[in-house]
Amino acid sequence: MLSPPIRFLFDFISPFSYLAWQWIHEVAETHERPIEYQPVLFAALLNHFGHLGPAEIEPKRRYIFKQVARRAHALRLQLAPPPSHPFNPLLALRIASIDLPGEQRRLVIDTLLRAVWGGGPGVENPATVAVLLDAVGLDGTALVAEAGTASVKTRLRASTDLALERGVFGVPTMLVDDELFWGSDCREDLERFLEGKDPLSEELVRRWETITPSARRDEPARARPASRDVTRNT
């Protein structure tokens, strides 16, 4: 009997999803866990929680790209900024949502992530995406066409809604045994959990869950950039 899967939630717009993609399969294989890929629309998570994305806060945007470049260097990974950022990831997310055999779906996700963060042409143009998928032996034209169907659009919306129901607030997120691990730097925590060596005690977790605030800040008035309106097209 297979062990419960590691569910990998991601959005192509996130460079940290690209970084976590480099090690998640090794972790899964080491611990004999299957992987289930779950594309989600990061902008919808931001809207749900009333957050700005990292790229929408200018000093944070600059820092994030430096941090990502440093982490990519440590992984000996080629990384380059995409043609634009933020961008609309819906086409790529919908293609990644298509029900394909496991290895084909992994190849689709890998190809599209590299097209964004590996110095490629990006994933917003349907013709370009079709060529990218053709180049790795897939039927790019057919996949692009299927991405526009109502059933695939519904599947992506349902995937994002399910993520919110499970408390997912960002990408990448790894869900395993009802535990959530967030970010590209959570590998050691995830592995300790899979090894049964999670240092968290039930008492400590319960304390954090029941602690109450003694002060609250005023909610600032913030303009919401148009880049977040991609959710209107879902």
Is 216 inside a domain boundary? yes
What local confidence, expressed as pLDDT, does residue 221 receive?
A: 61
Is 46 inside a domain boundary? yes
Is 74 inside a domain boundary? yes
Is 59 inside a domain boundary? yes
What local confidence, expressed as pLDDT, does residue 219 receive?
A: 73
Is 93 inside a domain boundary? yes
Cα separation, 114 vs 80, whole angstroms: 9
Overall number of domains in the chain: 1
What local confidence, expressed as pLDDT, does residue 233 receive?
A: 41
The pLDDT-based confidence of 229 (bands split at 50, 70, 90) is very low
What number is the average pLDDT over the span 31-40? Answer: 97
Burial of 7 (0-12, 13-18, 19+ CB in 10 A): buried
User: Which of 2, 67, 29 lies closest to 191, judged by CA?
Assistant: 29
Helix residue ranges per DSSP H, the chain: 15-30, 42-49, 58-74, 90-97, 102-117, 126-134, 140-147, 150-165, 187-194, 202-210
User: Which of 126, 118, 133, 127 lies closest to 82, judged by CA?
Assistant: 118
The answer to which of 83-87, 111-115, 130-134, 222-226 has the lowest mean pLDDT is 222-226
Predicted TM-score (pTM) of this structure: 0.91
Q: Express as a percent the part of the chain with pLDDT over 90.
A: 87
Query: For residue range 119-169, what is the model confidence (pLDDT) as tens digits?
Result: 999 999 999 999 999 999 999 999 999 999 999 999 999 999 999 999 999
Is 1 inside a domain boundary? no
CB 132 within 8 A of CB 140: yes
Domain with 93, as residue range(s), is 6-233
CB 109 within 8 A of CB 92: no
Q: Report whether pLDDT(228) > 60.
A: no
Is 43 inside a domain boundary? yes
- Could you tell me which residues come within 8 angstroms of residue 188 by beta carbon, excluding any fewer than 6 positions away? none
Question: For residue 84, what is the domain's CATH number?
Answer: 3.40.30.10
Cα separation, 187 vs 181, whole angstroms: 9
What local confidence, expressed as pLDDT, does residue 232 receive?
A: 40
